[in-house]
Each structure stands twice: as C-alpha cells, then as structure tokens.
Structure 1
Amino acid sequence: MDEEWFHGVLPREEVVRLLTQDGDFLVRETTRNDECQTVLSVCWGGHKHFIVQTTAEGHYRFEGPAFPSIRELILYQFNSGLPVTGRSGAILYKPIPRERWELNNDDVILLDKIGRGNFGDVYKAQLKSTSQEVAVKTCRVTLPEEHKKKFLQEGRILKQYDHPNIVKLIGICVQKQPIMIVMELVPGGSLLTFLRKNASILTEGQLMNMCLDAAAGMRYLESKNCIHRDLAARNCLVGYANTVKISDFGMSREEEEYIVSDGMKQIPIKWTAPEALNFGKYTSLCDVWSYGILCWEIFSRGGTPYSGMSNSKAREKIDTGYRMPAPENTPDEMYRLMLRCWEYQPENRPNFEQIYTVVDTLCQAYRVSFL
C-alpha cells in the first residue's frame, strides 16, 4: 500500500486511461468469484492484465522466480527488464503513480451519516491530514463491479471541474473497500429542503440569485460539453450566503449528445425533456428544460412539479401543450424564461449562455429597484 504504483481497487476502465505508453504499469486489486486477486496491469501493444500467482509456500510469482512479498516481485520484474511472461513479452518500464486525488481510505474519518445515495450512504467526515470537514459518498461493498464503475464516474467527471457553483471534488478513495468519493461539505444541505424550511423568509431577490447561481454552474458545464441529466432542486446544495452549487453527477455524461441505451430506468420524468423521454436523446438543451423546472421549484419555494399528476399523466399533458402556471409572485420575465426553457422543440430553447445573460440582467434590475 505504501508504493505509489499500487492503486487499490481502481476499476479497469480507469487503469486503461492511466496506462498510455508501452511499458507503463501499475498494480491493483480486483474481486473475482468473491476472491480477492492482485493484478499487474501493463500497457504493451494494448493493455495486459497479469494475476499474481501464489505458490504453495505463500510466495508470489508470475512465470519466473517467486518472492516473499508482492513488492519484491514487482521490483524484480522492473529492475531485471525481463518480460512478465514469455508469451506476452510485456516489459515494465515506467511505474504510474496514484493521481493526487487518489486518497488513502485511512486518511478519511467518517463521522455522522447525513444521507443516502444511489450506491450507498453519505457521511459527514474529516480529513486526518488537515482536519477539514468533508462530505463522503460511500459505495456498498456488495454492489456488482458495473455499479462501482458508475459510482466512480461521478468522481472522474467532477475532478476536472473548478467553479464556485459546482460542488468540488476533493478526492476518491480506492485503496480498499468501501470505495468513497470525498467532496466539499456544503453546509446548507439540499436546495429543496432549504427552500421548504425557509419558505416564509426567502425574498424574491434571493430566489432570483439562486436561479442565477444555477445558470452560472450550468453555463460552465455546457462549455465543458457535460450533460448533467438530473438537474433538480434535490440535486443542488446551498453553501454560505445562500450560494447554490450543482451536485449529483451520477447520471452525467461528457459528450455533446448522449443516446440512452440502457432503458429508461430511474429517469426523473417530471424534470426530463420530451425528446429524452420519447427518443432517449440527451443534449445540453435537455438540461435547459430541467433548468426551467428548477426555477419553478425555486419560485414555488420547494413545490412539487405537476402536483397531483402521475408521471404518465404529466408526460401526456406536456405532449399536448400543457405548461405549469407561474408560482405566486414570480416576476413575469422569469416565468417567460421558464416557458422558453419548456419549448417542445429543443432548438427553440435558449442555451445556458443566453439564460445566464437574461437572469443576470433581471438580478441587476432587481437590485437597482431596491436601492
């Protein structure tokens, strides 16, 4: 575990991404048929994965000599310049160290459970090294590999982003089970809960600013070709000074267009654009539709969209032209923007750059009128 080239239970997809040149290598662990195996992964005319064999005496080997520890075995292969196996010809040239956000599981002290995610529990936690309080999503050990891959995808997407309205990734823990995603702790919790709790004291100006924060975060994601696919008040967090941060990237995809191939399981129907529901086709303009619903949630102070309608009824009504009425005291321009976000044809909707400009102008006008 002390060796930089040991990557714990990092999934194979991540490993392939890290090994780019012939001779690049790392060591990881995997579970097959409930048995834990140590694997040497090498880039050599593609990617090759060698399971470390255990001898009757409890030593470790590939084809050559056996050693009392895996560390000695790997160092022998590296220093000798001999192929791992005669058939593969793979030679170890360069150990690939853990990335800076691959944290050690022991660096994270779990404190209180603060919620549940799709893959496991969410905790308030503390980093040993800095005593910083963080939020940690854990992945249930019993989940199949496929789910663990999906779980880590959120971390992979988030680690590239840096924006005040996007929740920040601090690191991922893959040294051992359970794998964890460590994020900044956003003190106000879920935007939906916050809106409902503070409904009577939130001003229209504050609600406008929340819409502006969400637009700023989404404009940034749009510029990075990231489709969120699950934008809703429940998936936003409230930070200091009521700053809204977009969170929950479990369904996100980094591409200009994404066609769903795995059926429409777990789709948040009342937040999802018609073309995504009807044809499984997602673009950033689907997020624009969801943003309209999010603004409706904000101005209704945590109301339930299409209240009293089943998912299928809401879908049917939308297809025939129904749109939700404005929540009480919503500024006309803001409701007009919602309706533009809910244009049936995606090409008729504004993009997030345009949305941000509209909401920013409204916010400024609002501030001026209160001076």
Structure 2
Amino acid sequence: MAKKKRSKAKGCSQEQTKELATKDEEAPPVEVKTAKKKRRQKEATTEKCATIEKEPEKDKDKEKDKDKDKDKDKKDDKDKKDDKKDSDAKKEDKDKEKDKKKDKDDKTTKQKKSEHHESDTHTMVSPAKTTVAAVTAKTQTTRTTIEKADKSTEQPDETVDADIARMLICFPWYHGLMPRDEISDLLLDDGDFLVRKTDVGGRPKYAISVMNKGRIRHILFNYGDKKWWLKDLKNSNIYNVVQQHIDTKTPVQADGTVLIKGVMRPDFYILHDHIEVGKKLGGGAFGDVHVGKMKTGEKETIDVAVKKLKGAMNKKQRAEFMKEAKLMRRFDHPNIVRMIGVAAQEEPVMIILELAPGGCLKNKLKDNPDLSKEKLTDFAIGGCRGMCYLAARKVIHRDIAARNCLLSSKDEVKISDFGLSVADTNVLKLDKLKSMPIKWLAPETLRKGEFSTKSDVWSFGVMIWEIFAHCKTDPFPNMNNTEAKAKILSKEAPMSAPEGTPDLIKAVMLLCFTQDPETRPDFEGLFKILAPNETPPMKPVDMALFETYSVPAGTK
C-alpha cells in the first residue's frame, strides 16, 4: 500500500515523498476502510503536492513582475533623458539658425554698402531703387521691392564670369581691369562710355563709366535670374544691354545719363592671347618679371619682358601696379626701360617691357670682378644720363640702386623698377618709412621723410660706390641698418670710395653725399662733370604730359 501511495505522489519532491511515506508507516493498521475514505486521502495528498509545487512558481512570477517594473522605470527614465536631449538639440539648432541668419544679414548689409561705394553717386541704379522711391504704405509693394533687391545681388559663377570676360574682349569699349582713376582722361564728351571689370567686397563686378554734364558716373551692372541690367532694359548679355541703351537712347540713370559713343581701348592695351610668358627673371614689390614673346603680326613676334601682377590683388594694389605702367609709357630714352604696353583685360594684369638681355647690373658686377675702370665709368655715366632725363620731367624714382638697373645687349645701363616712383611733384613727404632700403636713403629722408630728385642724387652716390665695389657687399659693409643710419646722419661723408676708383668718380660721389639737399648738385650738374663733351637730355616742351597720379597714402 505504501508503494502504491508513493507512486501516486509522483511529481512531488524527494522530501515531500519521504514525508508522506513516514506518515503511512506510523498509521495504525486498518482492516476495514471504505472506498470513500481512501478517495479523500488520495485527493488530499494530490492537492498538497500540487500546492507545494505551485508556491515556487508564484515566487518566480513575483520576481519577474518586479524585474518588469524595474525595466519599465529604467525605460521611462531613459525616455525622459532622450526627450530632454532632443529638446536641447532642437534649441541649439534654432540658435544656430538664428546666428546663421544674423551673419547672412550682416554680410548682405556689408555687400550692399560696398556696392553703393563703387558708384560715384553712392547708389546702385536698379529696378529695386525705382520701386523704393515710389513706395507707399502698401505691404505688398514693399515685399516685391525687397525680393527684387535680393535678386540683384546674385553673382554669376566663375565659369560664366570667365566666358563673359572673353566675350567682352571682342568689343573695343571693354577696358578690362583698368582702375577707374586711369580712365579720367579717356572720357571727354557727354555720352562717352567704356565698360570695365572691378571688384566689390572681393567679388568680381562689371561697371560702366560714362561722362554726363562734365562728370564721370561709375555704375555697376546688376545681375539676377541670369539677366543683366543697368536701369530698365534687361538681357542675358552685357553687350546687348549696352547696345539696347545706345539704340533706344534709354537713360542708364535717373538723371538722364545716356550712352552715345564707346571709347576704344588705347593702342598700348595688349591682349593676353598675344603674350607668351617664359622663365622667371626676378621679382619686385607687386610682381614677378619673366622672359616672354609678344605677337606683333600674323607670324611675327618680338622678345619682351613681362611683369606679372602677383596673384589676385585688390583694387588699391591693382591701381598702384597700373600707376607704374601709366608713368613708364611716357618715357622714351635709351637709358630708361621702355614700356611696350599693358595687358589688363583679365587676370593676371601684366606690363609688357622691352627685354634687357644683359640682365641686372648688380649681377653683372658680381659675376665679372675684372671689368675695366672704363667699363665701370660707362655704367656710372649711363645711370646719370637716365636719371638726368627723369629729373628734368620731375620724376622722383625713390629706389635708385644697382639692383634696379638693367643692361642692354651692348651693356648700356637702363633704369627700371618704377614701383615707388612719383611724378609732377618737387617733394614727396611720408609720415612713415615702411620697408625702405635704409642704406640708400638721404639724411633728409631719414629725418623728415622727404623724397625729391635731390634725395635721388644721394642714392645715386651710393650706387656709384656699388659699381666700383663690384657689389661684393651691400653699402656700409660690416654695419647694420642702425649703424648705417647713424653714419648717414653724422654730417660727415658716409663712405669712402672703393680702392681703385678714378679721382673724377671720387669727386662726383662726394658731391652726391652733400648733407644739405639745397646745396647738393642736381643730375644735370653731375652729368656735365661726368660727360663734359655731351649735351644733357632735353627737358620736355609740354610738362602736362607728365601729370601725377593720386598721392600715396601717408603723404603730405
């Protein structure tokens, strides 16, 4: 019977089964039991086993429920953190958008101010201007005006801009990158005009310069929706806009300014396509000098020197570079490097010069220490002759030195590098001497910042020392700039002539080193001493040919 009950308790644990078996053994023997009592015992035992078996499952379910609650709490915390991060990110994005919008507005404002400055009327003539002038309190009209103004600030991409420049070269009234200060003598009558390329805020722009009532107007072309316009007439091409204004006599400004006659490019304007640039010869403040060839006919070319503007410079730098070209094209003398022309239609701007195959005078002297005294004297006379020609035309070179003289195929000295030169003035005074060659400067220049043809005479004396020293060292050997400056201001002869210098040359050098510029001889006086049998270069009949340019910044 015990065996039978243990089998029926199958599914209980070992301890539970043992407990039941023990109870069965302790029970008093029963002889007579009813079927009803046996059934009750069986049911009780089965129920107890089932209860004992389910209790661990309930505990497990409780643990699972607790774990689920913990996971839910963690998930809720994570969701809250994520929501906060999203909120912070959105706020940060909004702040960035506000900053971008503010930067864009500031940039637009600066661009518009810069564009206004380019025009001499300080306004851009565009459809937007006309609309604003007629604005009423109507909101829609104001909105339309602003939209038009925004479109007018569009800019063609670089490829389109390059195509425009190449196309405009075909028209004689297109003057390329010529600065506005260089065209004042080209526009003489009302209606005379030319088109040029400029930059506003570092961005390329096209402008038309036109004479009206004795005053030159500089007006920017507007660009938007792939069309160009000045005032009312729009077209996809700048040259068609110009032609339409000529044909219809439609004013380009509200004051009635009209286009009548396009002014042709001068003969000294040379196309980039006609220039072949070769190896580099040297460099200066604004550009590098290269050997080159210039096309002069269908198959004819000549050897030239090409001075290229360094990189894409701003308007002020470009104007300084072109000022040198304007000055040089007025010179015609065998001891001055001749300017052939200027290529200003596109970047880089280039000055085309006669080629001096003999190279730099300084290099010639250093590489040939055995040159005769007669040869060295010829170098000094040639330099003096060239400076005599410049001084007679009231040109102050400001940088006379052996490094700035070139030689022809016959070793004839040619004055070059007019990047610092000025014309049509007796004295140029600078507040600061920035990047100037101290050892070549005159006492009055170091004391008061004054430059004149007399200060050029002092510098010429230093160049004579260089010639007869064969440029073995810089002037004032074994002295730094501070020591050399003190020597120049000492009111004594700053340097003695190099050993072997002819007495005549010694005397001329000492005259150049006269402390007082008033008593210092001029170039004509020096030339008469150096070449007594030769007539000095003639003075020009008309000094108006050598008018000056804008005075450099920092001058008085």
Q: What residue in structure 1 maps to residue 99 of structure 2?
A: none
Moved more, 168-177 or 294-303: 294-303
Counterpart among 187, 197, 205 of residue 29 in structure 1: 197
Equivalent residue of 1:361, what SS?
coil
2:294 paired residue among 127, 143, 159:
127
Query: How many angstroms does 1:81 deviate by?
Result: 2.4
Name the residue aligned to 1:193: 363
TM-score by length of 1: 0.93
Of 400, 411, 423, the residue aligned with 1:242 is 411
For 2:503 and 2:258, the matched residues in 1 are separated by 67
Structural mapping, 1:222-241, within 5 Å: 222-241=391-410
- The reply on whether 1:254 has 2:453 as its aligned counterpart is no
The aligned runs of 1:92-241 (5 Å cut-off) are 92-129=259-296, 130-200=300-370, 202-241=371-410
Q: Are the counterparts in 2 of residues 233 and 294 from structure 1 also a CA contact under 8 Å? A: yes
Aligned residue identity for 2:452: T
Aligned to 1:80: 248
Instruction: Tell me if 1:63 matches 2:231.
Output: yes
Contact 1:55 / 1:66 at 8 angstroms: preserved in 2?
no
Q: C-alpha separation between the residues in 2 aligned to 1:282 and 1:38?
A: 38
CA contact (8 A) 1:300 1:327 kept: yes
C-alpha distance in 2, partners of 1:240/1:141?
A: 31
1:288 & 1:16 partners in 2: Cα distance? 33
1:13-60 superposed Cα distances (whole Å, 9 cap, x missing partner): 11234223332210001122332111111122422111112231x222
List runs of 5+ in structure 1 lacking aligned partners.
364-371
Whether 2:496 is the aligned partner of 1:325: answer yes
Q: Find the counterpart in structure 2 of residue 273 from structure 1.
A: 442
DSSP 3-state at the match of 1:103 = coil
Deviations 1:51-76 (A, max 9, x none): 112231x2221122212321111112
Q: CA deviation at 1:294?
A: 1.0
Q: Report the alpha carbon displacement of residue 362 of structure 1 after superposing the two structures with TM.
A: 8.8
Secondary structure at 1:98's aligned position in 2? coil
Displacement of 1:184 after TM fit? 0.7
272-281 vs 163-172, greater mean Cα deviation: 272-281
Per-residue CA deviation, residues 256-277 of structure 1 (Å, 9 max, x unaligned), is 3233346211211111111122
| Larger RCO (CA under 8 A, 6+ residues apart) | 1
Kindly state the Cα deviation for residue 93 of structure 1 after the two structures are TM-superposed: 2.6
Q: CA deviation at 1:159?
A: 0.2
More helix by share: 2
User: Percent identity over the alignment?
Assistant: 35
Report how far residue 351 of structure 1 moved.
Answer: 1.0
Which residues of 2 match residues 278-289 of structure 1 at below 5 A?
278-289=447-458
Q: CA deviation at 1:199?
A: 1.4
Alpha-carbon RMSD across the aligned residues, in angstroms, is 1.6
> Which AA in structure 2 matches 1:60?
W
Aligned residue in 2 for 1:341 = 512
Q: Confirm or deny: 8 A CA contact 1:323 1:339 kept in the other structure.
A: no
Higher fraction of strand: 1
